[in-house]
Structure 1
Amino acid sequence: MRQNPSFVMTDVAELRRLIDQNPWVTLVSSTPDGLVASHYAVLLDDTRDDLTVVGHVGKPDDLIHGLGRRELMVIVQGPHGYISPGWYGDVAAVPTWNFISAHMSGVPELLTPEENLAVLDRLVARFESDMPRQRRLWERPNDAEYVHRLEKGTVGFRLTPSRVVAKRKLSQNRSDEVVETIIAELEAGSSPYADARLAGEMRRAHHARRTPS
């Protein structure tokens, strides 16, 4: 991902928030047969305060990726969307795309079956927590035999990235007036590109830009 000094994202707390709020990621590996990509949910490692993530792949994706033997890139995609040149006012302009994304690379560590079960349990709990009637991993009608059989079909991993490239391109190079116009269009505009989440991220980024560190 090509970087631009105006859009660099390095704050660990903000990156952790990005991962936590956008857990559905893309896993990319370079293999002897070419690039391969898979899509899975990950979680921040709850024993760490850095950017370490834990997750799993279904077999045989572990073999396809060479999981644990070669570098893995985890791509986290936050809110993103089209920005119309009409939102800049009566000036020469072209469209662009605002987005937040992070690429985290490293060689993952394979989890033991017990560790993998704990991660699977956390994943289910995380996404069931907002359901009106929750179905946790170990709750009936699931039984222990079923859960352990499920675990055997997956391979868990922990990735502590050795390289992170993150970008928050949210019109930071535009005037405050233009930024407010774009935010208003995203929040309550009549276009098909309205997106309150992206507007919220723009507000956050521009507040950070104006606030002395």
Structure 2
Amino acid sequence: MRQNPSFAMTDVAELRRVIDAHPWMTLVSNTPDGLVASHYAVLLDEDRDDLTIVGHVGRPDDAILGLGEHELLVVVQGPHGYVSPGWYGDVQAVPTWNFVSVHLSGVPELLSTEENLKVLDRLVARFESALPQPRLMWEPPNDEKFVRGLERGTVGFRLTPTKVVAKRKLSQNKPDEMVDTIIAELEAGHGPYTDPRLPAEMRRAHESIRAARDIR
């Protein structure tokens, strides 16, 4: 992902927030047979305060990706949406796409059986907890034999990134009044491409920008 200093994200707390809020990720590996991509839910490592992530893949995706053998790229896709040139007013303009994305690269470490079970348990709890009657991994009718059989069909991993490229392209190069108009249009939800989380992300970014500017 080509970086632009105006759009770069470097604050670890902000990166962790984006990663935590968007757990459905793309795993990309450059193998002898060419590029391979898989899609899995991935979480921050709860025992770390950096950008280390944990997850699993189903067999035989571990072999297809060459998991643990070489560098893996994990793509975190945050809120994104189309921005119409019509929102800029009567000026020369072209469309653009606002987005937040984080790329994490590194060689993953394969997890032990017990570590993988812990990650699988966390994944189930993370998503079931939002439901009125959660079904957690170890609860009946599941029993230990079933759960351990499930684990054997997966390979867990931990990735501490050695390279992080994060981009928050949210109209930082536009005047305040234009940004406010874009946010209003996105909140109105007129376009077929809008993500309702995008205007909230824009507000967060621009409030920080304006606060920093006011201090100066």
TM range (shorter): over 0.9
2:26, 2:75 within 8 Å by CA — same for their partners in 1? yes
Q: Do the aligned partners of 1:36 and 1:65 also contact (CA within 8 Å) in 2?
A: yes
Q: Percent identity?
A: 74
1:191 counterpart letter in structure 2: G
**Which residue number in structure 1 is paired with residue 109 of structure 2?**
109
Between the aligned partners of 1:64 and 1:195, the Cα distance in structure 2 is 33
**Residue 165 of structure 1 pairs with residue 168 of structure 2:** no
Hey, what's the Cα distance between the residues in 2 that align with 1:102 and 1:182? 23
Aligned to 1:74: 74
1:108-163 deviations in Å (ceiling 9; x for gaps):
00000000000000000000001011100001111110000000000000000000
- Cα distance, 1:208 vs. partner? 1.5
The correspondence of residues 54-203 of structure 1 with structure 2, limited to 5 A, is: 54-203=54-203
**Residues 6 and 172, structure 1, Cα contact 8 Å, conserved in 2:** yes
1:72-103 C-alpha deviation (Å, 9 max, x unpaired)? 00000000010000000110000000000011
Letter in 2 for 1:173: N
Structure 2 residue runs of 5 or longer lacking an equivalent are none
Displacement of 1:196 after TM fit?
2.5
Partner SS state of residue 133, structure 1? coil
Q: Aligned Cα RMSD in Å?
A: 1.0
- Moved segments of 4+, more than 6 Å: none
SS in 2 for 1:211: helix
How big is the shift at 1:179?
0.3
Match for 1:3: what amino acid?
Q
Give the Å deviation of 1:194. Answer: 4.1
Structure 2 matches for 1:17-56, cutoff 5 A?
Answer: 17-56=17-56
Distance 1:25 1:189 in 2: 25
TM-score w.r.t. structure 2 length? 0.96
Distance in 2, matches of 1:9 and 1:60, equals 34
Letter in 2 for 1:7: F
User: How many residues in Structure 1 have an aligned counterpart in Structure 2?
Assistant: 213
Render the CA deviation track for 1:18-49: whole Å, top value 9, x for unaligned: 11000000000000010000000000000000
Q: Structure 1, unaligned stretches of length 5 or more?
A: none
User: How far apart, CA to CA, are the structure 2 residues paired with 1:76 and 1:58?
Assistant: 19
Name the TM-score, length of structure 1 as normaliser.
0.98
Q: Say whether the 8 Å CA contact 1:28–1:73 is kept in structure 2.
A: yes
Per the alignment, do residues 194 and 31 of structure 1 end up closer, same or farther by CA in structure 2, a change over 3 Å counting?
closer
